[in-house]
Each structure stands twice: as structure tokens, then as C-alpha cells.
Amino acid sequence: MLGLNFMFLLPLCLFFVGFGGILFNRRSIIAIIICIELLLLAVNLQLSFSSFIFDDIIGYIFSLFVLSIAAAESAIGLSILVGYYKVRGNISVDSINLIKG
């Protein structure tokens, strides 16, 4: 049907879904972190598919690095979120207005 184009289209699609989720997010901070994870999953899939197509090992290795960085970043982000919740009491996006910017 699509030939091999889906290997470039699927991660792109996933990237834009995550990007739109960050852009149009009015729910909570944890929804933003979930969309960041979707972006990183799209990058991982793109690297793996490109490495599969061009038969090179370097895409898989860089995908492993991106995976580790995603794990570290989500750990730190969620622990910051828990500390923020202890201070503020809620994690809604609309109440981040202390600087009144």
C-alpha cells in the first residue's frame, strides 16, 4: 500500500501527535510529560527504522542512548513534579501564574 514510506511517516505522525498534545494541553502537567514521552518514542522509532532500512548499527546504538536519556529525564521530571505538588497543592497548568507573565 504505502511501500516503505510508512517507516518515515509513522514516527512523524507520532511526533506531531505528541507535539499537538503539548501545544493544546489544558489538563495537567503530567499530560505534558506524557506527551514528551511520546516525542521521545517517535525519535526512537525513527532511528530504529532508519537503521533498519540502511542496514547500519549506529541507529540502534543511538536509539539505546535516547532510551536511557528518556528514562533519566522522566525520573527527574516526575520527582520535580512531586516536589512542586507538595508546595502548590495541585498540578493544573492554569495555576502556574505566580510571575504573572
Partner 1 sequence: MKLEFIWFFFTFFIVLFSFLSVTSGNAVFSVLFLVLSFLSSALFLISLGIDFIGLMLMVVYVGAISVLFLFVVMMLNVHEEFKDFPLFTFLCIFFLLFLTFLNVNFCPLGDFFSYINWFHLDKLDTLNCLGYVLFSDHINNFIEISIVLMIAMVGAISLNFTSEKGMRDQEFLFQSSRSTEIILFIK
Q: Which residues bind partner 1 (CB under 8 A)?
A: 1-10, 12-14, 16-18, 20-21, 23-24, 26-28, 30-31, 33-35, 37-38, 41, 44-45, 48-49, 52-53, 55, 57-58, 60-61, 63-65, 67-76, 78-83, 85-86, 90-92, 94
Shorter beta-carbon distance to partner 1: residue 13 or 99: 13
Least distance from C-beta 96 to partner 1, angstroms?
14
- C-alpha dihedral sign at 25, 31, 35, 36: positive
Least distance from C-beta 35 to partner 1, angstroms?
6
Least distance from C-beta 21 to partner 1, angstroms?
4
- Residue 44, burial from CB neighbour count under 10 angstroms (0-12, 13-18, 19+): buried
- DSSP state at residue 24: T
Measured CA to CA, the distance from residue 35 to residue 25 in angstroms comes to 9
Measured CA to CA, the distance from residue 69 to residue 56 in angstroms comes to 22
